[in-house]
Amino acid sequence: MAVLSELRHQMQRQGLDALIVPRADEFLGEYIPESNERMRFVSKFTGSAGLVIVTLTSAAVFVDGRYTVQVKRQVDTADFEIGDLSDAQAMAWVEANTDVKGNIGVDAKTVCQTQFERWQSLLGGRELLDTQQNVIDAVWADRPEVVARQGFSLAERYTGESSLSKRTRLGQTLQSMGLDGFWVFLPESVSWLLNVRGSDIPQLPILQSHALLKADGSVQWFIESSRLPADWQAHVGTGVTAHNPSELESVLASCSGQNVGADPLNTNAASWQTMLAQGVNVIAKACPIMAAKAAKNAVEVEGTRQAHKRDAAAKAAFLAWIDESVAAGTFPDEAELADKLHEFRCQNPEFLEPSFSTISAAGPNGALCHYNHRNGLPGPLVNNSLYLVDSGGQYLDGTTDVTRTVAIGQPTPEMRRNFTLVLKGHIALARIRFPKGTSGMQLDSLARQFLWQHELDFEHGTGHGVGSYLSVHEGPQRIAKLGSPTPLEEGMIVSNEPGYYEEDQYGIRCENLQVVVPGERDGFYAFETLTLLPFDCRLMVVDMLTADEISWINQYHARVCNEISPLVDSATRDWLQRATAPLPL
């Protein structure tokens, strides 16, 4: 492979025995611009998480359970070994393929401080070196142009709180933590704190930048002047100064001796080392902005409700169109389906863009839980099987994410049974009441219990946090086996998306978004379902459902019909009435 040959030549010039290439850039975000897709350039693997390691004689790609099938389809196994994405296994591979005195390189801007330290501890005496400049860029001749657009302000009618109010509140939090400041590394947190957004990355409306929040509520914002929103000074309020990123060292030098918090899980190792070099007393702490951003205020929650209604109208029209097409003997391919869904969303003038690349997966492709039809030849709908569509939209007042599994023709009894098991888990999580202090880890098994009884499971998490016109994947809350210990709080939005995937045959996922609301009894919380779209009753084995589960489905479907019918045309309204017809008790 020519790329590997050129890369190894560069490694030899720099005295490197191995090079670690994470799927990350200097902002450590899940979504990165085309110009920074370095792991994909080297390996051809397109997954959203992974790690490539190249030595002078061998190479490997490490992925998690979501991508074990996909990676084998995309990566040339003559050039790359395939491994499990864990620090222990990846570094053990390095040990097995390099000399004990070897130099291991990584661009420290593309790895968080915690990971950098962990890798160093696992390398058995080998030196983990910061390459300073990214080695991949030296061999990437046709690297896409770096996009850096001007940002824009988000009005308080959408945010529910001014930047000055947020900064003052969080400054007081820093004081209570004994900190003089906090290094706000993640662009999502900076965008939320200053009520600004951007368009550097498709589907992720953040403004790529960093900031230093001080205990008095002031902020030093590191961003190129050409990218500042036109009215930024008046919009953010007093106490914010803008600095070119090249001024970082001098600004940090003025903080020498001060206690500055930084999250080692969300701060790249390069900036961490820069703070230390400037004499800053770096205190490892979870960023308080993460929790503040996750707990949506009343304006954000109401905005999200409205965004979900608009989004559901488009998705209902799309599902009605699928049924009409199949009934006419037409089986569109995955690309046509994704384009049609986008077309329906675009009919609403408040729709801005998708919140992620639509997963449009027919038949066996549904078994790839993060499938992308653009990675190959889009397949047509498969008769007597399933179609899985996972998509979302960005609106100024909210971010949506919904998955539905659709019957195409007459699915098999096994497909219907497994769909019902997944749906039962979804209902159990949707209905739960839980005491304050409960984390997503404690709720995860609710969604898996019925699958487990049949010795079935799924590899991905059950639920992720969702932003308010921000990232569709947001922490710190998460519902997963090994999820976040962060307690769920009022206003947090999480997905509820259990699934089941039969390799090379079909995939099933039932996903709604839901928000944490107060329970009926003090000290307890419940979930309010935000997504308003029917589940496919043709896939339900009614005899497997309890009376309470049937009642939940019927009440949910009645709500969907009542709230969405006024927003759609007569043909879609007729489809909605059929799709939400009550199940027999």
Burial of 581 (0-12, 13-18, 19+ CB in 10 A): middle
Q: What is the pLDDT of residue 372?
A: 84
Q: What is the pLDDT of residue 308?
A: 98
462-475: per-residue pLDDT in tens? 999 999 999 999 99
The confidence band for 125, taking pLDDT boundaries of 50, 70 and 90, is confident
More confident residue, 18 or 373: 18
Is the pLDDT assigned to residue 375 strictly greater than 80? no
The confidence band for 68, taking pLDDT boundaries of 50, 70 and 90, is confident
Q: What is the pLDDT of residue 148?
A: 85
Among 269, 175, 270, which Cα is nearest to 216's?
Answer: 175
In angstroms, rounded to a whole number, what is the distance separating the alpha carbons of residues 396 and 272?
34
328-374: per-residue pLDDT in tens? 999 999 999 999 999 999 999 999 999 999 999 999 999 988 888 88
In angstroms, rounded to a whole number, what is the distance separating the alpha carbons of residues 194 and 210?
11
Q: What is the pLDDT of residue 544?
A: 98
Q: What is the pLDDT of residue 315?
A: 98
Using an 8 Å Cβ cutoff, are 568 and 317 in contact? yes
Give the sign of the dihedral formed by CA 404, CA 407, CA 413, CA 414.
Answer: negative
Q: What is the pLDDT of residue 267?
A: 96
Work out the mean pLDDT of the chain and round it to a whole number: 95
Q: What is the pLDDT of residue 549?
A: 98
Using an 8 Å Cβ cutoff, are 430 and 398 in contact? no
Please state, for a pLDDT cut of 70, what percent of the chain lies above it: 100
DSSP track, 434-496: EETT-BHHHHHHHHHHHHHTTT---SS-SEEE--SSS-SSEEEEEESTT---PBP-TTBEEEE
141-193: per-residue pLDDT in tens? 999 988 889 999 999 999 999 999 999 999 999 999 999 999 999 999 999 99
Q: What is the pLDDT of residue 156?
A: 98
Q: What is the pLDDT of residue 30?
A: 86
In angstroms, rounded to a whole number, what is the distance separating the alpha carbons of residues 316 and 337?
13
Q: What is the pLDDT of residue 539?
A: 98
pLDDT mean over 46-67: 91
Q: What is the pLDDT of residue 1?
A: 64
Name 332's Cβ contacts closer than 8 Å, sequence gap at least 6.
322, 325, 340, 380, 381
Name 164's Cβ contacts closer than 8 Å, sequence gap at least 6.
217, 236, 237, 238, 239
Using an 8 Å Cβ cutoff, are 334 and 363 in contact? no
Q: What is the pLDDT of residue 147?
A: 83
Is the pLDDT assigned to residue 430 strictly greater than 70? yes
3-state SS of 164-224 is HHHHHHHHHHHHHCCCCEEEECCHHHHHHHHCEECCCECCECCCCCEEEEECCCCEEEECC
Among 270, 288, 304, 342, which Cα is nearest to 107's?
Answer: 270
Antiparallel, parallel or unpaired: β 398-399 and 402-408: unpaired
Query: CB 441: neighbour CB atoms within 10 A?
Result: 18
532-582: per-residue pLDDT in tens? 999 999 999 999 999 999 999 999 999 999 999 999 999 999 999 999 999
Q: What is the pLDDT of residue 200?
A: 86
382-410: per-residue pLDDT in tens? 999 999 999 999 999 999 999 999 999 99
Alpha helices in 280-439 (DSSP H): 288-294, 298-327, 334-346, 413-431
Going from the N-terminus, what domains does the chain have, and what CATH number goes with each? Answer: 2-138 (3.40.350.10), 152-294 (3.40.350.10), 298-579 (3.90.230.10)
pLDDT mean over 446-469: 97
More confident residue, 298 or 71: 298
In angstroms, rounded to a whole number, what is the distance separating the alpha carbons of residues 79 and 180?
50
Bridge partner residues of 434 (DSSP): 525
In angstroms, rounded to a whole number, what is the distance separating the alpha carbons of residues 513 and 474?
13
The confidence band for 287, taking pLDDT boundaries of 50, 70 and 90, is very high
Is the pLDDT assigned to residue 48 strictly greater than 90? no
The confidence band for 47, taking pLDDT boundaries of 50, 70 and 90, is confident
Antiparallel, parallel or unpaired: β 219-222 and 240-243: parallel
pTM for this model (two decimals): 0.93
In angstroms, rounded to a whole number, what is the distance separating the alpha carbons of residues 407 and 177?
54
252-286: per-residue pLDDT in tens? 999 999 999 999 999 999 999 999 999 999 999 99
pLDDT mean over 289-318: 98
